[in-house]
Amino acid sequence: MMQRAIGRALNVPEAEIETAIPLVEIVTTGDRIQDRRLLEIGGKALFTKEIEEALLAGRIDIAIHSMKDVPAEQPQGLCIAAIPEREDARDAFISRDFDSFDTLPFGARLGTASLRRQAQALALRPDLKVEMLRGNIDTRLRRAAEGDFDAILLAVSGMTRLGVTEHIREKLSLDAFLPAPGQGALAIQTRAANIDAPLNAQWVAALNHPATAIAVAAERGAMTALEGSCRTAVGAYARIEHDILHLTTEMLSPDGSARWRRVGDLPQPTEADARALGQRLGGEVHASAGDQEVDPATLDG
């Protein structure tokens, strides 16, 4: 998808895009290790580390990441050059036997590796048995279809990009299941020294979606203040309507028994102002919630 979009932005003939802008597949540590939670093996950065190393070494020129996997701080020498228009940021409910989250029976088994989704689900349904589920989307869908879980939760955006939305039983409420910061958005990363090169400037201008970039800046500002990682249950979602940015951010206790939330608006937002709003609201949430970080040793899966 991004390969063709970059090619079109650079006016490369459609038939020549795959040759002119070759794809380099990199399997990250986060992709390889499927039997443990991310917080046990180094966190979300395991989905970006090897790709960023290839970028710094010059083996690739452009990296595409899921924004929710990108750490708050960029490695020295790299930058986020563009953020394309966001896909649906909601979480998806997938189940072989049940039509919606609310129809799950008492004590149902819910599969997810996300501490945020675990906490939000338990906040609504403390009776659920949340069990660790990792693997690529195909693996997770297969396990749900085989009945290993009564239901699983995935990102709508990932399913949309892979063309498997027919498995979605319900798109969950953005209020009850506030997304991870940056969920649904992509980050296009490059070397900072090359950002102003004419060819780079051309595709950056074509692919960057200002409203998405501003919303993501607000969410990542909140993430920074909340020290958001796979060790904390953190959500943030921003949208722009009629030139007003609306941001909601929250932190939850891992068992869902407590939830701290702040909401704020910002007229005519810039990225810098949006980030500052996120940091302020996130700071207020953090002050109320205190330290909610999870010790991996306390987890079952």
Point out the residues that are catalytic. 69
3-state SS of 282-295 is: HHHHHHHHCCCCCC
Looking at residue 266, its amino acid is L
Structure tokens at 268: 């005519």
In whole angstroms, give the CA distance from residue 130 to residue 109: 6
278 and 220 Cβ atoms separated by less than 8 Å: yes
In whole angstroms, give the CA distance from residue 127 to residue 7: 50
In whole angstroms, give the CA distance from residue 115 to residue 84: 27
Going by their DSSP bridges, the two strands 109-111 and 151-155 should be labelled as parallel
Structure tokens at 189: 């990363």
